[in-house]
Amino acid sequence: MADVRDILDMERANTPEVTRESFLVQKRRNFEKAKGVSKRPEGMHREVFALLYNDNKDAPPLLPTDTALGIGAGYKQAKARLGMKKVRKWEWAPFNNPARTDGAVFHHWRRTTDDQKDYPFAKFNKQLQIPSYTMTEYNTHLRTNVQKWNKAQTDHLFDLAKRFDLRFIVMADRWDRAQHGVKSVEDLKERYYEVVGLLAKAKGPNIEKKSFAFDAEHERKRKDQLKKLFERTTQQVEEEQMLLNELKKIEARKKERERKTQDLQKLISQADQQSDAATNVPSARKYEKKLVKKKLHHQPRPSKVDSVVNAIEIGGSGIKFSDLRGSGVSLRSQKMKLPANIGQRKVKALEQAIQEFKVDPSPPPTEEICNAFNELRSDMVLLCELRTALSTCVYELESLKHQYEAACPGKTLNIPPSLIPAEPIKQELIEPSTSSANANT
């Protein structure tokens, strides 16, 4: 504060000079104050404040303890009593490793009371069984082109195989190039498995082990390809990625063209079928129609019965479901999907027919169920169309009867009972187009 007063040009109070003796006296006073009785904080009850300290005025513990009851009571455990027993003796004892054949001796610390046991890690010493051959077997079965492999090179190869347990990378590194020439890892593998296979065939079929055929040329090509793949530059990687993206775009465009072509072929085939059905009517039916027209020449327009019957004959074969023979994977349940060329009126009539006959609208899509369900729905649509034709015929008969009675007063046209349906026609299964046509008639 003295510096602040000097900056503000204010009068500074007279303060005593700080000396070593005054500093020690002030520190001693502060220490005595700290040792005094602590005051109860404001707002704390007297009973709570009394629980914080004991008679010795010690600071409260961080964790609850009850060590005052005795050693070992509460959470406190008895300390380890060291020095009560004699220390067991250890010795620097020798041991041998069973995996070594050179008789090497090693040492480790061991208690004198322990029994002499085998080296505990000796159970991990597992060596491969490398086959061996005699001079007669080599001359009879293993002799090959001397320029590739001779007897000394083959012996050196099997010696390395026994030493390094068929670790061919290490074997190729320890290969004596000065005496036996340069051999790659593929050459060592090819010669080793070739000798093993020939020995297995020579010793007879009683051997359980199967010979392994090693294709050295395939292995060399594989490593060359990996080397070329690893040595690619950044530009080559980007170019390859760009080509892959272009390939995906081309395949997508190809699938789109195939889909459009299939849709166009469907439209063309439907149009051809309709035109063929309209033009290629049997001659007998044409002749019958001509006779009917001659007999009914007094009528102003043809009957609607023929138009309905022709419509059923042309397109009344039910629903034609797709075969799903295109490329790609598809679910079998897609076979039960209704074609897109069916109108909403037929779909509603089909749903009403399914409810009428109490059929499951979505059965399990097995092969037999899919085919049977599609045939059933096709027959249901054909049934609806036949009901529509029947109602039209009944309406035509009634209209003809009224026309006859109007033209010939006093006479009545009797309709044969065979032409009258025994049960009333359910109009909810008939398309609305029928009722509108009847109304127009």
119-135 per-position pLDDT tens digit: 888 878 877 888 888 88
Same domain, 358 and 408: yes
Confidence band (pLDDT; 50, 70, 90) for 431? very low
Tokens representing 213?
A: 């055929």
Same domain, 200 and 258: no
Residue that terminates a domain, selected from 98, 124, 150: 124
Domain CATH for 155:
1.10.10.60
Q: Is 216 exposed, middle or buried (0-12, 13-18, 19+ CB in 10 A)?
A: middle
What is the structure's pLDDT at 253? 94
The whole-number average pLDDT for the span 41-69 is 69
311 lies in a domain?
yes
Question: What are the pLDDT digits (tens) for 197-234?
Answer: 888 888 776 555 666 788 889 999 999 999 999 999 99
For 371, residues 6+ apart whose C-beta sits below 8 A from its C-beta are: none
Tokens representing 346?
A: 């037929």
Residue that terminates a domain, selected from 179, 211, 231: 231
What is the structure's pLDDT at 226? 93
Question: What are the pLDDT digits (tens) for 394-418?
Answer: 888 888 888 888 888 877 777 777 6
What is the structure's pLDDT at 278? 61
What is the structure's pLDDT at 123? 79
Same domain, 375 and 396: yes
What is the structure's pLDDT at 430? 41
166 lies in a domain?
yes
Structural domain span for residue 250: 234-271
433 lies in a domain?
no
What is the structure's pLDDT at 167? 92
Which bin fits 101, alpha (ψ -120 to 50), beta or left (φ > 0)?
alpha
Same domain, 240 and 220: no
What is the structure's pLDDT at 168? 93
Strand duo 105-111 + 90-96: pairing: antiparallel
The whole-number average pLDDT for the span 162-170 is 91
Number of folded domains in the chain? 4
358 lies in a domain?
yes
The answer to whether 115 touches 180, Cβ cutoff 8 Å, is no
Tokens representing 93?
A: 């004892």
What is the structure's pLDDT at 220? 92
Q: Return the axis-axis angle of helices 367-407 and 304-315, rounded to nearest 10°.
A: 170
Same domain, 353 and 369: yes
149 or 66, which is more confident: 149
What is the structure's pLDDT at 440? 39
Q: How far apart are CA 11 and CA 428, in angstroms?
A: 112
264 lies in a domain?
yes
The whole-number average pLDDT for the span 111-116 is 85
- Residue 426's closest CA among 374, 383, 382? 383
Same domain, 251 and 354: no
> Of how many residues is the chain composed?
441
Same domain, 196 and 153: yes
What is the structure's pLDDT at 71? 47
Q: Is-above-0.75 flag for pTM?
A: no
Same domain, 412 and 308: yes
7 lies in a domain?
no
Same domain, 209 and 251: no
- Mean pLDDT is highest, among 56-70, 222-236, 417-431, for 222-236
8 lies in a domain?
no
Residue that terminates a domain, selected from 205, 231, 257: 231
The answer to whether 308 touches 388, Cβ cutoff 8 Å, is yes
Same domain, 190 and 240: no
Same domain, 162 and 264: no
Same domain, 308 and 409: yes
295 lies in a domain?
no
What is the structure's pLDDT at 252? 93
Q: How far apart are CA 255 and CA 111, in angstroms?
A: 80
